[in-house]
A and B are shown apart, each in its own frame.
Chain A
Amino acid sequence: MAGSNDSRQDNVLLEVKNLKKYFPIRKGFFKTLAGYVKAVDGVNFFIREGETMGLVGESGCGKTTTGRVILRAYEPTAGEVWFKDRNLGNVNVPDLDKQDLKTLRQNMQMIFQDPYSSLNPRMTLLQIVGEPLLVNGVARGSELRDRVAELLRVVGLRPEYMIRYPHAFSGGQRQRIGVARALALNPQLIVCDEPVSALDVSVQAQVLNLLQDLQEEFDLTYLFVAHDLSVVEHISDRVSVMYVGKLAEMATTEELYGHPLHPYTEALMSAVPKPDPRYQAERIILEGDVADPANPPSGCYFHPRCRYAIDRCMQEEPQLRELRPDHYVSCHRAEELDLVGFVETAATYQG
């Protein structure tokens, strides 16, 4: 990772340093400690103000946990999370006391994956969207109603809907409610945890466009956690790829998709089914399954599935390093490998 005096890190909003989150595994009657699931195991990255950082990886790679540890929904096991808060200044999130954490969380919000289970079915929209305003003493009474009406309008819902309950809305509309709630306190950073993966294609496009519009309007910064590579490519300025609790690669979207440096990134790109029937190419099929984060392999965690692995990969753990400007990779052989990026498919019907 580059030092903090690096010029490219001038307007960094969030910097994560060597972040770790281990979940203990307890076994037997006495709940003796049998080991740890290393969900997040030494992650480093930074997000600049006003940009969207995509975080991709397969299920169980720790991307959701990373998002939650940043918000301190989980206490980190180790590591630092530096956030340039509007009110508190540059603070290390794990060090904050309860009072400061409350202040901080006004500026860090989250949008959840499942719009069906993340909204309380017994609360009206007014209560759901107004709750953060009420709890933080920002608005109450008629002022609260006005503010909620405004928020609903911003996300494309009719203000009259505020007396309704979530069951009256479709999946896409519910996701808009979640967005309105996240926006209520005018945050700096929003962690979007798979915000569109539960939605149909036509609705997914609506929500993605909404997120982009809001980013421009309110100068938002997004950490966009997702597994769909085409969605991440569409919305992100920069992308980080995670594999078994570690960062494999981080670069600008164009760099990462055009010239990946990590074999895992290459395999991910190759695996995506292309929406073009005329596209014919050999795919890289990764053998086996994702490594078990409770019992990861030696050296580079990816080596058992990597087709470029050499002896060194089995013994020595690679570190994340900046190989090209703003392009970080953790692979011993990154310099010598010539990897294939995402192959653009021919333009099918575009109207």
Chain B
Amino acid sequence: MSENGKEPLVEVRDVKVYFFLDEGTVHAVEGVTFDIARGKTLGVVGESGCGKSVTSQAIMRIVPSPGEIVAGDIFYYRYGQDGSVEKVELTKLDARGSEIRSIRGNEIAKIFQEPMTSLSPVHTIGNQIMEAITLHQKVGKEEAREKAIEMLSLVGLPQPQQRIDYYAHQLSGGMRQRAMIAMALSCNPSLLIADEPTTALDVTTEAQILELMKGLQEEFGMAIMFITHNLGVIAEMCDDVVVMYLGKEVELASVDETFYEPYHPYTRDLLRSIPRIGTKTGARLHVISGSVPDPYNIPQGCPYHPRCPEFMPGKCDVDREIPFFEIKANHWARCLLYE
């Protein structure tokens, strides 16, 4: 993919992640390629089971067993204070080694969907934030506590001096998500992976958190990989968008082209099937026929062909690797219509 003035931070090249189960092999991620530029936001959108979360786990090297990265490369650029750049191949590192540990949680941090289950119920939030700080930075306990309070006030938690000693259950959903963001940002990461960070929240709280993330991105200059199924959130937060379906990356484009000029039939169908405010009440929604197939029996050829309105018999259902066509500059789609 092209450089166009952006500094690369992460390059994902044809990554495949398979899960080897007794029932068969699940091809959770099947050849995903994209770049995340420094300070930019990449959105990853798709329905449940499309492999968007597993892709982010591959970048952090935390794919749970029995999953494995079976092919592909992930490069990560470490920018030093003195302007030096070191290119690290994340896929070659030992997943339990010291090098990935110095990156994971420090330079690449993650926030999760459900803050109640991803925060420890038996440690105060202060303890959890301080753990992240003392693990990656050479600071004492006092200093770490001060830093934690500073982070909590930065993410807009009211009364951070007192709330630092609260347990997760004493906070509301929005406040928990703020605490988790404080923890993720405490080491000033260059990439923040946000896995459905607002899905469990109410709209007004969601608006608060999205606004907060935008502000923090401006302040810290980190890149964000934003995983969500909500197209509204994608439109609001992202610079570029990856659309995934059943482990395959079906489209990659700028956010504007994704919404105004999508090429892949799946992206088009998704955009047409969301209820839009302002369209006439009583009208019927565009429906994608059928449902997402079972991950053990992914259709051969293009996985979308059984549901696709543009299905070409004898072409789309033939067992072959469909190339990722660059239809316009920086606009890619995996569809035989563009062969």
Interface residues of A (CB under 8 A from B): 58-59, 170, 172-173, 200-206, 208-209, 212, 227, 229-231, 233-237, 253-254, 257, 267-268, 270-279, 283, 285-286, 288-290, 342, 344-345, 348-351
B204 touching A58 by the CB < 8 A rule?
Answer: yes
Residue from A272, A277, A285 within 8 A of B211 (CB atoms): A285
Residues of B in contact with A (beta carbons under 8 Å apart): 47-48, 158, 172-175, 202-208, 210-211, 229-236, 238, 255-256, 258-262, 268-279, 281-288, 291-292
The answer to whether A344 touches B277 (Cβ under 8 A) is yes
13 further A-B pairs in the complex, CB-CB below 8 A; given A273-B210, A277-B256, A342-B277: A202-B273, A208-B275, A208-B285, A227-B203, A236-B281, A257-B277, A267-B204, A273-B236, A276-B259, A277-B258, A279-B235, A285-B207, A349-B260
Work out how many contacts link A and B, with CB atoms closer than 8 A. Answer: 152
Contact across chains for B232 and A274 when beta carbons are under 8 A apart: yes
A277 surroundings in chain B (CB, below 8 A): 235-236, 238, 255-256, 258-259
Q: Contact between B292 and A349 (Cβ–Cβ < 8 Å)?
A: no
| CB-defined contacts of B206 to chain A, threshold 8 Å | 271, 273
**A200 close to B229 (CB less than 8 A):** yes
Could you tell me if A272 and B203 are in contact, using CB atoms closer than 8 angstroms?
yes
Which residues from chain A contact B255 at a C-beta distance below 8 Å? 277
Question: B residues within 8 A CB of A342?
Answer: 277-278
Q: Which residues of chain A come closer than 8 Å to B271, judged between CB atoms? A: 275, 348-350
**With A58-B203, A200-B47 known to touch, is A349 a contact of B259 (CB < 8 Å)?**
yes
Q: Is B273 a contact partner of A173 (Cβ separation < 8 A)?
A: no
**Could you write out 17 A-B pairs with CB less than 8 Å apart?**
A58-B203, A58-B205, A59-B202, A202-B273, A203-B291, A229-B203, A230-B277, A231-B275, A234-B283, A253-B281, A272-B232, A277-B238, A277-B256, A286-B207, A289-B205, A342-B277, A349-B271
For residue B236, which residues in chain A have a CB less than 8 angstroms away from its CB? Answer: 273-274, 277
Determine the distance from Cα of A350 to Cα of B205 in the docked complex, in whole angstroms: 30
A288 to B285, CA, bound (A): 35
The residue that B291 contacts in the complex, of A170, A234, A273, with Cβ under 8 A, is A170
Query: In the complex the two chains form, what is the Cα distance from A230 to B285 in whole Å?
Result: 12
B172 proximity list for chain A (CB < 8 A): 289
Contact yes or no, A235 B281, CB < 8 A: yes
Chain B residues within an 8 Å CB radius of A276: 235, 259
